[in-house]
Amino acid sequence: MEMEESLKPLSMESRGHKGAAPIKAIKVKTVNRETIIIQLTMLILAVATIYGFLTFDYKDVVIGEAFLKSLDSLKTMLLEPHLQHVGFGEAIYQVFVTMGLGFLTTLFGAVIALFLGLLAARNLSTPFASALIRGVVAFIRAVPTVLWVLIFSVAAGLGSVAAVIGMTFHSVGYLIKAYSEAFEELDKGVIEALRASGANWWQIVFQAVLPSCATYLISWTFLRFEINFSVAVAMGAAAGAGGIGYDMFMASGFYYEMREVGAITYFILAIAILLEMFALRIKRNMKTH
């Protein structure tokens, strides 16, 4: 009993203790700013969650029954996949259409982001241009992709043009951030040396900056392609962009055919897992470089 009581304050202290700290790190003060903020954040999230559950618009859904029904349809979906309205070859073709949408988006995004990323990097640009681009990127990222696509489809009509241009916005935002961070990691001395030798901005960019960051740029671009593939699936479903996402939307929302949804899900899953494995390998390469 005594033993336990004497241990208690110790365990309280170790709560504030961080893994990789020096020996002095067993903090005597148990309550500091950091722990207060952590606990406050958790409390707010918990309260918001409970408040949310109390106020949601349930629309007379019997939760248990609906849950069992979903499990049942999930079972049908995953265990009895069967293509009905789309042929096997057609489904493969549509997967490639979706990949094509993702690819075009990534390509356009990469080209635009390369230039804007150079202007957003603090070491290669003026503070004003860098701050301006960062502000615009924050705004672009705050508008959900589907809204970009729908806004563009008013001007261009529903289809691949609106989808690619709308999705490009987010890719540009994401890649500018990634690229400019890669540019900023470049050794300051290299740029200074080139500048001292009389090289102009373009020469610095093409002879020093781009060659030394090329691996990073390609890795980030591929990671974005992985994201763009799943975005393209979603846009096919929500914004009529075509591809396998549209077929899935038709199978579930129009034909109510669970087994077809299952088969299409397997197609998407296969590609997504392949891309993820590839991306993991690339990430590992990035760490060793």
Which residues, numbered 57-96, are part of the site for another protein (CB under 8 A)? Answer: 57-59, 61, 63, 66-67, 69-70, 73-74, 77, 93, 96
Check residue 17 for interaction with another protein (CB under 8 A): yes
Q: Which is nearer to another protein, 195 or 280 (CB)?
A: 280
Q: Which is nearer to another protein, 11 or 188 (CB)?
A: 11
Phi-psi region of 81 (alpha: psi -120 to 50; beta: other; left: phi over 0): beta
Q: Which is nearer to another protein, 120 or 250 (CB)?
A: 250
CB of 96 to another protein, least distance (A): 6
Q: Which is nearer to another protein, 195 or 256 (CB)?
A: 256
Q: Which is nearer to another protein, 154 or 196 (CB)?
A: 154
Q: Which of 216, 217, 244, 247 is nearest to 231 (CA)?
A: 244
Check residue 273 for interaction with another protein (CB under 8 A): yes
Decide if 267 contacts 91 (C-beta within 8 A).
yes
Question: How far, in Å, CA of 200 to CA of 203, rounded?
Answer: 5
Task: Please select the residue that binds another protein; options are 109, 117, 173, 243, rule is CB under 8 A.
Answer: 243
Question: How far, in Å, CA of 111 to CA of 103, rounded?
Answer: 12
Helix-then-strand count for the chain, H and E: 12, 0
Of 143-202, binders to another protein (CB under 8 A) are 143-147, 150-152, 154-156, 159-162, 164-165
Check residue 8 for interaction with another protein (CB under 8 A): no
Q: Give the binding range for another protein (CB under 8 A) out of 176-184, 189-197, 201-209, 229-237.
A: 229-237
Q: Which of 233, 241, 235, 218 is nearest to 107 (CA)?
A: 218
* Single-letter code of the amino acid located at 276: E
Check residue 109 for interaction with another protein (CB under 8 A): no
Site string (198-227) toward another protein, x via CB under 8 A: ------------------------------
Q: Give the binding range for another protein (CB under 8 A) out of 43-51, 118-126, 193-201, 202-210.
A: 43-51
Output the six-digit token pair for 219. Answer: 């890795």
- Exposed, middle or buried: residue 64 (CB in 10 Å: 0-12, 13-18, 19+)? exposed
DSSP SS3 for 74: helix
Check residue 6 for interaction with another protein (CB under 8 A): no
CB of 75 to another protein, least distance (A): 11
Rg (CA), the chain: 26
Q: Which of 214, 232, 215 is nearest to 283 (CA)?
A: 215
